[in-house]
């Protein structure tokens, strides 16, 4: 039997379940599922069947078709009615569901705090959401942004990026066509996503320039940063993708890519980073060291935020921290 799995964590946990089933702590996430996987594979092994597990990537063009199909089946299964004898199938236990998902295995006060924060942050304007979002690993984000590995000028820049504190952001970008209003980027002429009120906030402009703007000179800087990340991830054995956290904030927690390190250029990190750091042996300071590798590109992106300057004159010109 061949098993295709997109989660390195699941593969490793299942392997651990085989070799040392008593090594899990009671609060281990999805322990019931890990044990069920181990039991199923053991039962098949006892019937003389062998199996091999292959790590695949999900949601990319190279994802095997059978993996996509099983993903669809799993999604459909979530809407099936509960079996009539489901209580017999479960061992006595309890868990808290939030939007239909178990939010934590053991820590009630942490769950309540998370729900409280989620409620408060739901009232915040959209450009401040990353600062409180449950998907963001706030401690690591702070440790990265305040790391002594960063030059003071880069620490200051990451702080400004997070809050959109900058001079000379574009004015008059709010346009109405056919009864529909939106902000249009004066550089690339595309819609500035997430900006849905007449006032364009600096944080929205930063997010657009750093992660979305399609002006070739700016895209070139982003590509160079991605190259630095690819070089770094080659040694750390984990994929790093430069992407805005704004894109994943609306997703349910289970859709956060477990084996991909998402790097928002404002320094925001996702909560999956903690486990990835443990698994691939890196700390916030190591990510700060990665940021210093593309310090020069960030300085140029920072200058591209100033609408009075021309990206074609900024990019490639010598920059000084």
Q: Does 203 bind Zn ion (CB under 5 A)?
A: no
Name the residue nearer to Zn ion (CB basis): 145 or 173. Answer: 173
Q: Please identify which residue in 187, 211, 222, 228 interacts with Zn ion, judged by CB under 5 A.
A: 187
Shortest distance (Å) from residue 201 CB to Zn ion: 15
Name the residue nearer to Zn ion (CB basis): 175 or 255. Answer: 175
Name the residue nearer to Zn ion (CB basis): 141 or 204. Answer: 204
Task: Scan residues 40-79 and list those touching Zn ion (CB under 5 A).
Answer: none
Q: Does 213 bind Zn ion (CB under 5 A)?
A: yes
Q: Does 210 bind Zn ion (CB under 5 A)?
A: no
Q: Does 188 bind Zn ion (CB under 5 A)?
A: yes
Shortest distance (Å) from residue 311 CB to Zn ion: 10
Give the range of 165-173, 186-194, 239-247, 299-307 binding Zn ion by CB under 5 A: 186-194
Give the range of 5-13, 67-75, 85-93, 178-186 binding Zn ion by CB under 5 A: 178-186
Q: Do 116 and 106 touch, CB atoms closer than 8 A?
A: no
Residues lying near Zn ion in the complex (CB under 5 A): 185, 187-188, 213
């Amino acid at each position: 039997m061949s098993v295709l799995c997109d989660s390195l964590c699941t593969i490793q946990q299942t392997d651990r379940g085989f070799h040392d089933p008593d090594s899990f702590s009671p609060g281990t996430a999805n322990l019931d599922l890990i044990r069920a996987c181990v039991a199923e594979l053991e039962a098949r092994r006892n019937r003389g069947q062998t199996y091999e597990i292959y790590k695949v990537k999900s949601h990319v063009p190279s994802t095997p078709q059978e993996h996509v199909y099983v993903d669809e089946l799993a999604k459909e299964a979530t809407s099936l009615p509960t079996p009539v004898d489901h209580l017999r199938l479960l061992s006595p236990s309890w868990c808290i569901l939030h939007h239909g998902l178990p939010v934590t295995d053991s820590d009630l006060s942490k769950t309540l705090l998370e729900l409280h924060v989620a409620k408060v942050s739901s009232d915040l304007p959209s450009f401040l959401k990353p600062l409180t979002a449950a998907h963001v690993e706030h401690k690591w984000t702070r440790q990265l942004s305040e790391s002594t590995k960063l030059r003071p000028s880069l620490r200051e820049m990451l702080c400004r990026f997070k809050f959109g504190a900058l001079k000379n952001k574009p004015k008059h970008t709010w346009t109405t066509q056919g009864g529909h209003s939106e902000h249009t980027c004066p550089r690339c002429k595309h819609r500035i996503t997430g900006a849905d009120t007449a006032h364009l906030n600096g944080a929205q402009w930063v997010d657009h320039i750093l992660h979305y703007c399609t002006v070739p000179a700016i895209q070139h800087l982003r590509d160079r940063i991605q190259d630095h990340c690819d070089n770094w991830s080659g040694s750390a054995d984990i994929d790093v993708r430069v992407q805005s956290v704004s894109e994943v904030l609306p997703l349910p927690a289970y859709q956060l890519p477990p084996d991909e390190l998402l790097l928002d250029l404002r320094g925001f990190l996702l909560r999956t980073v903690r486990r990835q750091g443990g698994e691939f042996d890196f700390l916030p300071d190591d990510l700060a060291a990665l940021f210093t590798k593309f310090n020069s590109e960030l300085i140029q992106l920072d200058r591209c935020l100033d609408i009075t300057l021309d990206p074609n004159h900024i990019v490639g010109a010598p920059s000084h921290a």
